Amino acid sequence: MRLKNKVALITGGSSGIGRATCLLFAKEGAKVVVVDINENEGEATVEMIKKEGGEAAFIKADVSKASECKAMVDFAEKQYGGLHILFNNAGIMHSNDGDSQSTEEDVFDLTMNINVKGVFFGCKYGIALMRKSGGGSIINTASFVAHLGAATPQIAYTASKGAVLAMSRELAIIHAREGIRVNALSPGPLRTELLMKFLNTEEKKQRRLVHIPMGRFGEAEEMAKATLFLASDESSYMTGTEFLVDGGITAAYVTPE
């Protein structure tokens, strides 16, 4: 077990990458704090873990609110006595997020509050407990769109993920001598509810698929395995970097014949 005796806090744990990672981390021996705004599905993730013999607990939190992020970290300490892995994964991709002309200010602000401030607050409160726990690994979910203009416009989301990358590098440098590693996971297009709701027509799906050399969307379970590597001691000499798991899209953004 690669995460035996570790405590992991995972935001966005009710679905997609978050749920897949919760399940995998528990299987690898971690005690998992499942965090989400969706209480029913978050509790369902915990039940899935317990059915497999793992250990997990749920707390409802809106990561855009500082007080709720503090509460989730306090919960981890009270429940399991520390924190060794922090996966700041919660995020949104708003259906009304388009180009600069069509995207309203409230959509932009909401996206930044959840996708960027959520990572900031997670680290603000999580790092303090991680220090007390002897160090650990922080993984922040960014995206391949931080590198490329998206064929289907999503300006707020793209900007938010660029901010996550920059913040991850800064955090890594500041905390490297404390035994705290910080890396960003940048998934490519995935067959998750989040993206499928955004790419809500076959035309939109094909506009994205045509640029992926592998010719398919990635799976949440594939991202969970990448996150496990970053969370475990197998990546002990990695910090301040970005792990692109994208089916080749950033290496060859071309339309095949």
- pTM summary value: 0.94
Segments in 136-243 forming alpha helices (H): 155-175, 193-198, 202-209, 220-231
Tell me whether residue 252 is in a domain.
no
Number of folded domains in the chain?
Answer: 1
Of the candidates 80, 125, 157, 253, the residue annotated as catalytic is 157
Amino acid 245 reads: V
In a domain? residue 17: yes
Q: In terms of residue numbers, what domain contains 110?
A: 7-245
CATH code for position 95: 3.40.50.720
Give the pLDDT of residue 38: 98
In a domain, 150, yes or no: yes
The mean pLDDT values, 10 residues at a time, for the chain of 257 residues are: 97 97 98 98 98 98 98 98 98 93 98 98 98 98 90 91 98 98 94 78 79 89 98 98 94 59
Query: How high is the pLDDT of residue 198?
Result: 75
The question of whether 237 is a catalytic residue gets the answer no
Residue 91 domain-assigned? yes
Residue 251 domain flag:
no
pLDDT at residue 238, rounded to an integer: 98
**Scanning the structure block, which residue is given the tokens 């909401």?**
110
Q: Would you state the pLDDT for residue 257? A: 45
